[in-house]
Amino acid sequence: MGTEENAELVRRGYEAFSAGDMATLRELFAEEAVWHVPGNGALSGRKEGRDAILAYFEELGRRSGGQLKVTLQEVIAGENHTVGLQHNQAENNGRSLDTDGAIAFQVRDGKIIEGREFYADTAQGDAFWA
């Protein structure tokens, strides 16, 4: 796949995530995909395999009371890596999350094989997702 196809794949992923469309996300990720979550919080660490990644996404929805809003700001695409720049907002149980971030995606054979999250304020995320 080329840069345009990778950019479109990532855009579809953001759209599916925002819509809670786990069936589409399942199609976009390779079965052996890996996801990396920064920080030292309850949800931080490596998620091994598509099912673990989807379970993590579902947990984000649960812990935010369904209020997590991820706004894709820009996609920067390459042959093997594509980056989504985003803004994250949520409020739940008196806590709030309001931070910019990026996810570096590695794409192979039309599927996401790796995602690596980065945030402007990792400590804020750790506190919110606790």
Q: State the residue for tokens 């803004």.
A: 87
Tell me how far apart the alpha carbons of residues 68 and 97 are, in angstroms, rounded to a whole number: 9
Q: Where are the alpha helices (DSSP H) in 29-130?
A: 50-63, 122-129
| Residues 91-127 pLDDT 10s | 988 899 999 999 999 999 999 999 999 999 999 999 9
Give the pLDDT confidence score for residue 48 in this predicted structure. 98
Q: What confidence category does residue 84 fall into, taking pLDDT thresholds of 50, 70 and 90?
A: very high
* CATH class, 3-129 region: alpha beta
Tell me how far apart the alpha carbons of residues 89 and 104 are, in angstroms, rounded to a whole number: 19
For strand 111-119 and strand 29-37, is the pairing parallel, antiparallel, or unpaired?
parallel
Domain locations along the chain: 3-129
| Residues 15-26 pLDDT 10s | 999 999 999 999
Does the predicted TM-score (pTM) go above 0.85?
A: yes
